[in-house]
């Protein structure tokens, strides 16, 4: 009796399923490798963003900002509660682009995240003066140009 596939259907079924499982293993490995590469790329870009998003204390003066920066009050200070006070953000254009088209966006927030003010758009030479309460506050700035930023609080 000649060797025919029809005579041994179960044997060929196992052989073909084994070949299919080897192919599936290869495909699964490729999928896992692809996801691993994607995760590594995401991690690397998040590290580079974290390095660009620096945190500076308030007060800070003449800080060069390209991209984003965060300014925060020191929460370890044991001071008595104060009345209303003013936070000031002064910006000066420092990049090669036309200063008339460059702006910086400023957001103010309490560190307990209960209060948010902004966005405020500032141009070179402008100073934002905003009344705030006695909670510790932070300032988030973002720009596509290079600005020199100073942040302080008048008490």
Pair 22, 71 in one domain: no
C-alpha 22/C-alpha 11 separation (Å) is 17
Residue 139 buriedness (CB in 10 A; 0-12 / 13-18 / 19+): buried
C-alpha 147/C-alpha 102 separation (Å) is 9
What's the confidence (pLDDT) of residue 47? 53
C-alpha 54/C-alpha 102 separation (Å) is 21
Is a pLDDT exceeding 50 seen at residue 50? no
What's the confidence (pLDDT) of residue 38? 73
Q: Cα dist. 11→8, 14, 15, 17, 85 in Å? A: 6, 5, 6, 10, 85
Interior/surface letters 117-133, b for 16+ CB within 10 angstroms, e for the rest: beebebebebebebebe
Pair 37, 83 in one domain: no
What's the confidence (pLDDT) of residue 51? 47
C-alpha 27/C-alpha 71 separation (Å) is 48
Pair 79, 133 in one domain: yes
* Phi-psi map region of 15: left, alpha, beta (phi>0 left; psi -120 to 50 alpha): alpha
What's the confidence (pLDDT) of residue 131? 95
Pair 13, 83 in one domain: no
pLDDT in tens, 61-82: 999 998 999 999 987 755 556 6
As a whole number of Å, the end-to-end CA separation of the chain is: 102
Which domain range does residue 28 map to? 9-52
Average pLDDT over residues 125-141: 95
Pair 23, 82 in one domain: no
- Can you give the CATH number for the domain in which 78 is found? 2.60.120.510
Averaged pLDDT of the chain: 80
Do residues 89 and 125 lie in contact, with contact meaning Cβ atoms separated by under 8 Å? no
Give the 3-state secondary structure of residue 114.
coil
What's the confidence (pLDDT) of residue 52? 55
């Amino acid at each position: 009796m000649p060797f025919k596939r029809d005579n041994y259907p179960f044997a060929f079924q196992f052989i073909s399923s084994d070949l299919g499982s080897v192919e599936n293993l290869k495909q699964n490995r490729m999928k896992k490798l692809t996801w691993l590469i994607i995760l590594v790329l995401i991690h690397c870009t998040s590290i580079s963003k974290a390095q660009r998003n620096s945190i500076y204390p308030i007060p800070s003066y003449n800080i060069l900002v390209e991209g984003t920066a965060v300014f925060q009050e020191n929460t370890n200070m044991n001071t008595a509660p104060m009345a209303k006070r003013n936070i000031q953000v002064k910006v000066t254009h420092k990049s090669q682009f036309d200063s008339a088209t460059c702006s910086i966006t400023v957001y103010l927030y309490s560190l307990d995240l209960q209060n948010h003010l902004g966005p405020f758009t500032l141009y070179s030479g402008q100073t934002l003066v905003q009344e705030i309460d006695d909670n510790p506050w932070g300032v988030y700035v973002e720009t596509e140009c290079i600005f020199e930023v100073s942040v302080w609080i008048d008490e």
